[in-house]
Structure formats: C-alpha cells, structure tokens
C-alpha cells in the first residue's frame, strides 16, 4: 500500500512536525485540530521551521512553498479523514482524549485506511481495541524536533498485521527516517530507557548531589548527549515526563520507576519547562 492522501490529528509540537515531514516528502496532508487558532499556530510553526531549513540551504524557497501547498487544515475530524489512506494521531497523551478519537477514526476513515498513533506511553493494543480494525492500528512514534530527529519507533500492537507494519516501515524510510521495530510495551524502548534517566537526574537534584547546570554538564560533556537530562526534560515538558513515569511505574510495577517527588511538585506548581516559561531553568 502507498499513501498519497494522509491526515495528522493534533497541530501541536509533534503533530505539526509530522505534517511538516510528510508534506516535505511529497505527501498531501490534512492537519486536523479542534479550532482554527490551533491550526493557525501549527501551520505558522511549520512555515517558520521550513524557513529555517531554507536559511540553512537544506531546502529551496520553492520546496518550502510546494510543501506548504500540500498542507490543508480541517476542524471536523470525521469529514477530514473520509478519503485518506493513513491517519497519524498526535493529540494529548490521555486515554480519555485518544480513545474517542480512535472510535471516530474507525467510523469515518475508509475501511482500508491505516490508523497510526504517535503516542509515547499509551498501549497500541488498547488503542486498537477501540476500533473494529486492530490489524490496521500501529504506533508511529516520532521524536522532537520531528524534522531533525531520525528515529521512528514503529510499534506493533498485539494484532497489528505484517502488511500494516511493512507499509508504515516503508513510509518511515521514505520520510528519510530510520524505523525501529518495537513490540507494544510500556514506554516502548525510547521512554523505558530515557525517562528513568531523566527521573534519576531529578533525584540527584532533589538530594543535592549537584546543581542543575552541573548535572547537565556531566551528561553533555561526559556522555556526549546533545542536551543534559534536565534541559531535555524542560524541552519535552515536565508534565509529559511525569505522565510517562507514572505509566512505567503503574504498568511495570517496580519501585525503580517511582516518579521523583520533585518532578511531581514542579508539575503541580505549573512549572512545566519551556512551554510554561519555567522548569529546571527559566525561559523568557
Ligand atoms: N525544524 C527544523 N529544523 C530545526 C528544528 C525544527 N523544529 N529545530 C532545530 N532545527 C535545526 C536547526 O536549524 C539546525 O540546522 P542545521 O543542522 O542545518 O544547522 C539543527 O536543527 C540544529 O539546531 P540548533 O543549531 O538550533 O541547535 P542544536 O545544535 O543545539 O540542536 C537539537 C538542537 C536538535 C534540539 C539538539 O539539541 C538535540 O538533538 N537535542 C536532543 C533532542 C531529543 O533528545 N529529542 C527527543 C526528545 S524525546 C521525544 O521527543 C519523544 C518522547 O516520547 C518524549
């Protein structure tokens, strides 16, 4: 199966990044969100990220224009997916939001359409169970910033078919990404490994082992990570980090996944990282 007509649900950071790479690689994309304001913000972000790529001479101004021309927007989910071959859902990470979206996608998208989710922590098998086509439901987990990061975790739910997996793996390659096959498990591979590291960095801070800057310097200069764990946590969003730790703790049961109380306290205070202007660091 090849995809000419695609849709992305959710125009936030991940959704607009996914629409960006689809459109840049020649796919027609309908970007869907609940209101015009969210869509406008999403398309503005795509336009400015494409401009970065023009400025760096990675793409031409004509390619930027052609990419933008391939993106349409819609606020009605059911109408927007009525003729697509692939939907990638990238809305907020709660089952309350994602569950009904998968039900609607199942009712409104063509019978042979593949329904993918960019979820980082919700079970693909559970999302598939909200539909009547579990063999055509799959995880397609991108990384922020999507236009730059090369990885896509392609996540098989219990009933995902080989045909669905192969089509999505081919798509990831066509988007110039490196797909990695992962079975459905809490946090998949990426967040099962990354989030306990971030959580441990927060424990180090809470216990006074070192300052924010010094913890980050250990990991940037000592381990060659592009960002230290606390800077990265601010970049991802502390609420997202906490949500993923809670899933790991609940589903895997081991105390080693217990969210750090300081992480929880910061989220309670509304210190969510870059997006709120305050996390482990301040952003003005
Ligand atoms: N769109 C387009 N281009 C972008 C971009 C975007 N959104 N963001 C950055 N860029 C480009 C820049 O223009 C620059 O391009 P060139 O290489 O052509 O010069 C390049 O990316 C590097 O950017 P900068 O020079 O501004 O800054 P940097 O060198 O510090 O890199 C970074 C920034 C790529 C974000 C780097 O710090 C990095 O890799 N950080 C780690 C990111 C990471 O770990 N992401 C995963 C988070 S986890 C997740 O997403 C999944 C989850 O489930 C939680």
Nearest atom (ligand 1) to Cα of 146:
7
Catalytic residue (choose from 20, 49, 123, 153): 153
Instruction: State yes or no: pLDDT of 2 exceeds 90.
Output: no
What does pLDDT average to over the chain?
Answer: 97
Q: Ligand 1 pocket: which residues have CB below 6 Å? A: 49, 52-53, 56, 58, 120, 143-145, 147-149, 190-191, 226-227, 232, 236, 240
Q: Which CATH number is associated with domain 5-183?
A: 3.40.50.720
Q: Which residues, 6+ apart, have CB-to-CB distance to 105 below 8 Å?
A: 9, 77, 81, 87, 89, 113, 115, 131
Query: With bands split at pLDDT 50, 70 and 90, how would you rate the model's confidence at 4?
Result: confident
Would you say 120 is a known binding-site residue?
Answer: yes
* DSSP codes, 132-201: S-GGGEEEEE--SSTTT--EEEEEE-TT--HHHHHHHHHHHHHTT-EEEEEES-TTTTHHHHHHHHHHHH
Give dist(CA 24, CA 147) in Å, integer.
9
pLDDT digits (tens, 9 = 90+) for 230-266: 999 999 999 999 999 999 999 999 999 999 999 999 9
What pLDDT does residue 129 have? 98
Q: Which residues, 6+ apart, have CB-to-CB distance to 253 below 8 Å?
A: none
Query: With bands split at pLDDT 50, 70 and 90, how would you rate the model's confidence at 1?
Result: low
pLDDT digits (tens, 9 = 90+) for 20-44: 999 999 999 999 999 999 999 999 9
- Our mutation pick for probing the ligand 1 site, out of 148, 152, 226, counting the most ligand atoms within 8 A of Cβ, is 148
Domain(s) labelled CATH 1.10.1040.10 in the chain stretch across 191-276
How far does residue 145's CA lie from ligand 1's centre (Å)?
Answer: 5
pLDDT digits (tens, 9 = 90+) for 80-101: 999 999 999 999 999 999 999 9
- Correct CATH for 191-276 of 1.10.1040.10, 3.20.20.70, 3.40.1410.10, 3.30.2320.30: 1.10.1040.10
Q: Kindly tell me the number of DSSP H helices and DSSP E strands found in the chain.
A: 12, 8
Q: Which of 214, 249, 248 is nearest to 229 (CA)?
A: 214
Is 49 labeled as catalytic in the residue annotation?
no
pTM: 0.96
Is 200 labeled as catalytic in the residue annotation?
no
Domain(s) labelled CATH 3.40.50.720 in the chain stretch across 5-183
Give dist(CA 220, CA 86) in Å, integer.
38
Would you say 112 is a known binding-site residue?
Answer: no
What pLDDT does residue 284 have? 84
Query: With bands split at pLDDT 50, 70 and 90, how would you rate the model's confidence at 108?
Result: very high
């Amino acid at each position: 199966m090849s995809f000419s007509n695609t849709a992305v649900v959710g125009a936030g950071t991940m959704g607009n990044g996914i629409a960006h790479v689809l459109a840049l690689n020649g796919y027609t994309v309908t970007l869907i969100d609940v209101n015009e304001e969210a869509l406008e913000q999403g398309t503005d972000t795509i336009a400015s990220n494409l401009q970065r790529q023009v400025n760096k001479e990675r793409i031409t101004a004509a390619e930027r224009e052609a990419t933008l021309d391939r993106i349409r927007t819609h606020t009605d989910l059911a109408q927007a997916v009525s003729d697509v071959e692939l939907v990638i859902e990238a809305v907020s990470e709660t089952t309350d939001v994602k569950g009904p979206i998968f039900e609607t996608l199942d009712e409104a998208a063509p019978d042979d359409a593949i329904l993918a989710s960019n979820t980082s922590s919700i079970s693909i098998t559970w999302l598939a169970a909200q539909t009547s086509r579990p063999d055509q439901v799959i995880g397609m987990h991108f990384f922020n910033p999507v236009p730059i990061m090369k990885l896509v975790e392609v996540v098989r739910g219990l009933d995902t078919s080989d045909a669905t997996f192969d089509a999505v793996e081919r798509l990831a390659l066509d988007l110039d990404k490196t797909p990695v096959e992962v079975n459905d498990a809490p946090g998949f591979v990426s967040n099962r490994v990354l989030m306990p590291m971030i959580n441990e960095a927060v424990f180090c801070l809470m216990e006074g082992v070192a300052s924010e800057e010094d913890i980050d310097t250990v990991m940037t200069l000592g381990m060659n990570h592009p960002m230290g764990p606390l800077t990265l946590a601010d970049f991802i969003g502390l609420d997202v980090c906490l949500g993923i730790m809670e899933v790991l703790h609940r589903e895997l049961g081991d105390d080693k996944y217990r969210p750090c109380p300081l992480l929880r306290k910061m989220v309670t205070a509304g210190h969510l990282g870059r997006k709120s202007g305050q996390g482990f660091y301040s952003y003005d």
